[in-house]
Structure 1
Amino acid sequence: ATRRAHLPISLDAATADAGRELFEGCRNGDVTRVRKLVTPHNVNSRDTTGRKSTPLHFAAGFGRRDVVEHLLQNGANVHAKDDGGLIPLHNACSFGHAEVVQLLLKHAADPNARDNWNYTPLHEAAIKGKVDVCIVLLQHGADASIRNTDGKTPLDLADPSTRSVLTGDYRKDELLESARSGNEEKLLSLLTSINVNCHASDGRKDCQNNTSFSSFNIRCRGVI
């Protein structure tokens, strides 16, 4: 069976054991409930009826930022893999939860983690059309050249909405104008390792040769 047929990204099943309440709290975003239930002994427990996911997999997949933050503060493992080899970052990326993605990356989640089929978080975001997540991943060192077990890169599998992010053409004119005008906030939101050398269609100089961009460049971690 293919990866998609064998392992759909679904978090409907919760564990039926004594820890079910914790998983339900993570799924539903009930941070008060999670605070009461989580302990050093169960923070990395596994759901027994599904893919052996952890509470962090559930919270990340459902976009429960406050719960994710609390779990991380209490020892949740960002590198934990479920039965399919997915880490919580894969789940957050697949469902487009950009704030959760940023939080997981801040806590050292690997943007190039590979599941059992060599799909990375960037594959997930690209396939599902999650533009904002693709940008965040690329800004944090995601490698767009990684191929899955079928030899496909994120660009090869990308939804039409995310293709331009992976080719460097996404909102290129806005990016160039931001570099010229010194709009650092816009640069932060658009600049990635892929579009850092983009050129204007009229042949004018690229982003990297712009003075305001260069000063921004020095302060921006991991973009180029």
Structure 2
Amino acid sequence: MAFPTGMSGFSAKSGLRPETTSEDIFSASKDGDELYCREWIMNPDNDINITDQHGFTPLHYACMYGYPNIIEAFFVRGAKTDIVNMGGDSLLHVASQHGKYDMVVKILRSNPDVNLANEHGNTPLHYASFWNYIGICEMLVKNGALIVMSNKYGDTPLSKARPRLRKKLEALAAEFDQSLVIVPHKKVRPMRKNDYLDFKQRQAEVEKSQVTMSIKIGQGSYGETWKGSWSGHTVVVKKLKTKGDVFRSTLRENFHHEYTRLRIFNHDNILPLIGVIIEPQVHTIGIYMKLGSLYYILHDIESEIKVNLEEGIKFCRDICHGMAHLHSLDPLIKHFDLNPHHVFVDEDLTAKLDLPHTRFSFMDNDKVFKPSWMAPELLQHRPEDFDKKAADMYSFAIILWEVSTGKIPFADLSPMHAGTKIARDNARPVIPSFVNHHLQRIIDICWNADPNKRPRFEKIQPILDKLEVS
């Protein structure tokens, strides 16, 4: 089918959904095979943001063909919603081009760039306007899409609209106070590269001879932490203690299952465990973060990052998104303790949960570290006797307090005394009066004395996303 006359840079709509029987994630996303997609997504070895030769992800195809349940499954598991194909098309581009109104509504909930231009300079509204999808046009404009943004050929959504839609767009421009002065063409954002793809494609088990441990940067109850290199990348290597330094077959089997679940490469706010050394002693390998932990950034005078409240809340949003993903996993990763020592910050100032800090079953998990961030019930009961999700929300509340005040919780107490006061007296840090009243309310809700009344992370996400603290 030829390009429509006078519509340079626009490709024609696809025809009927292709017939396919090959059982792979791309064809399953095109065919609407929800069961296959869900099983594939649940496998931690699969890259949820995998792309084909054209840069399309499975989520692109699910949006293109209109399968809301598959899209929701990808969203819940942390698939990137801002990824673009090799032509610069976002999820919103393909859903708008193919007239999938419900998909557009669902995608808009993730707050995408509605004016993102592809390689031709076309925004999602260009496509919806050209194909006369009036409902989609209205929804896009209500979410900030520009009616007169020019593509690289000088076409705007308004100039390519049919008469009825043109009147509608002009009315929307007046309603939302949009100028009809043409907005120049925007350059295309380059396709985002998955920085961990190289690690994702490698085997997790590594020979010790392949890893160089150059600088010892920490010593703790569970072992030593080293800065090193592996396969040309700077990494963090944790040399872990085992009980009696014996790693029996049963422990090895459990460990293999546990570390495999920590190779989560599909979420922007999670640092995966990228490799392990098993012999002669257990080591875990993670991504090295130059800026350090959130605790270091917040409280160490030598940190090169000085955090204001707005930036601190942004870190909390990142943590919230990462924790919502971890809590969507079944079974739950039970031994990742949420505190600022286990959150690291990338050079683009994105906070990431560091999964190599997860404790394994062969470790002594009865000991308590960093009690100032732990929920009372966690300090009082065995793991099977409390709600881990509610306990994590308490820890998140302490971090919110921390970024709001710039202080260390229970800084005047030793860890043992802090843990005792929290467990015995249900103590909380005092919220100063200068803390934003919206933040005060969120903190109070999140560290509620009754764990059953604390919200889940997926409920807090939209509240934090809309929170203004300036």
TM-score (norm 1): 0.67
Work out which of the two has the higher radius of gyration on C-alpha atoms and give 1 or 2: 2
The whole-number CA distance in structure 2 between the counterparts of 1:14 and 1:71 is 23
**Contact 2:142–2:176 (CA under 8 A) maintained in structure 1:** no
Q: What code does the residue aligned with 2:97 have?
A: S
Question: Does structure 1 residue 81 correspond to structure 2 residue 69?
Answer: no
Q: Does the alignment pair 1:44 with 2:57?
A: no
Aligned 8 A contact 1:129 1:160 in 2: no
Deviations 1:171-203 (CA, angstroms, capped at 9, x unpaired): xxxxxxxxxxxxxxxxxxxxx454357xxxxxx
Going by fraction, where is helix more abundant, 1 or 2? 1
Contact 1:14–1:23 (8 Å) recurs in 2: no
Q: Residues 49-95 of structure 1: CA distance to partner in whole angstroms, max 9, x if unpaired?
A: xx220111101111111111111111211111111110011000011
Q: Is the 8 A contact 2:82 2:90 kept in 1?
A: yes
Q: 1:86 & 1:14 partners in 2: Cα distance?
A: 24
Q: What CA RMSD, in Å, does the superposition of the two structures yield over aligned residues?
A: 2.7
* Higher relative contact order, chain-length normalized (CA < 8 Å, sep 6+): 1
* 1:116 pairs with 2:122: no
Structure 2: which amino acid aligns with 1:69?
E
Aligned to 2:141: 138
SS in 2 for 1:155: coil
Partner amino acid, structure 2, of 1:42:
D
Cα offset for 1:25? 1.6
CA distance in 2, matches of 1:9, 1:83: 18
State the shift of 1:14 in Å.
10
* Whole-angstrom CA distance in 2 between matches of 1:105 and 1:67: 16
Cα 1:156–1:82 shift into 2, 3 Å: same
Deviation at 1:161, TM superposition (A): 4.6
Number of residue pairs matched by the alignment: 169
Of residues 15, 35, 38 in structure 2, which corresponds to 1:35?
A: 38
Which protein is richer in strand relative to its size?
Answer: 2
2:175 aligned counterpart, secondary structure: coil
Correspondent of 2:96 among 87, 93, 97: 93
Distance in 2 (CA, whole Å) between partners of 1:166 and 1:126 is 9
Tell me, yes or no, if the aligned pair for 2:128 and 2:137 is still in contact at 8 Å: yes
Contact 1:25 1:33 in 2 (8 A): yes
2:74 is aligned with 1:71: yes
Q: Which runs of structure 2 are paired with 1:171-186 in the superposition (5 Å)? A: none
Q: Specify whether residues 36 and 141 from structure 1 end up closer, same or farther in structure 2 by C-alpha distance, changes over 3 A only.
A: same
Q: Distance in 1 between matches of 2:37 and 2:164?
A: 36
Amino acid at match of 2:175: N
Check conservation: 1:126, 1:158, Cα contact below 8 A: yes
Could you tell me which runs of 5 or more consecutive residues in structure 1 were left unpaired when the two chains were aligned: 169-191, 198-220
Write out aligned runs for 1:198-209 (5 A).
Answer: none
Distance in 2 between residues matched to 1:196 and 1:80, nearest whole Å: 28
Q: Could you tell me which amino acid in structure 2 is paired with residue 47 of structure 1?
A: D
SS in 2 for 1:96: coil
Q: Contact 1:14/1:24 (CA < 8 Å) preserved in 2?
A: no
Aligned to 1:181: none
Gaps of 5+ in 2: 178-465
Alignment correspondent of 1:217: none
Q: Percent identity?
A: 27
Contact 2:25 2:37 in 1 (8 A): yes
Any conservation in 2 of the 1:63–1:100 contact (CA below 8 Å)?
yes
Normalised by the length of structure 2, the TM-score is: 0.33
Could you say what secondary structure the match of 1:3 adopts? coil
Aligned to 2:25: 22
Task: Using the TM superposition, give the Cα deviation of residue 98 of structure 1 relative to its aligned residue in structure 2, in angstroms.
Answer: 1.1
In the aligned structure 2, how far is the partner of 1:60 from the partner of 1:22?
14
SS in 2 for 1:61: helix
Q: Could you say which residue in structure 1 is the equivalent of 2:175?
A: 195
Shift of 1:136: 0.5
Are 2:160 and 1:157 aligned? yes
Q: Deviations over 1:136-185 (max 9, x none)?
A: 001111111211001111011123452222121xxxxxxxxxxxxxxxxx
Q: CA 1:63–1:45 in 2, change beyond 3 Å: closer, same or farther?
A: same
- With over 3 angstroms needed to count, the CA separation of the structure-2 counterparts of 1:111 and 1:32, relative to structure 1, is same
1:195 alignment partner AA: E
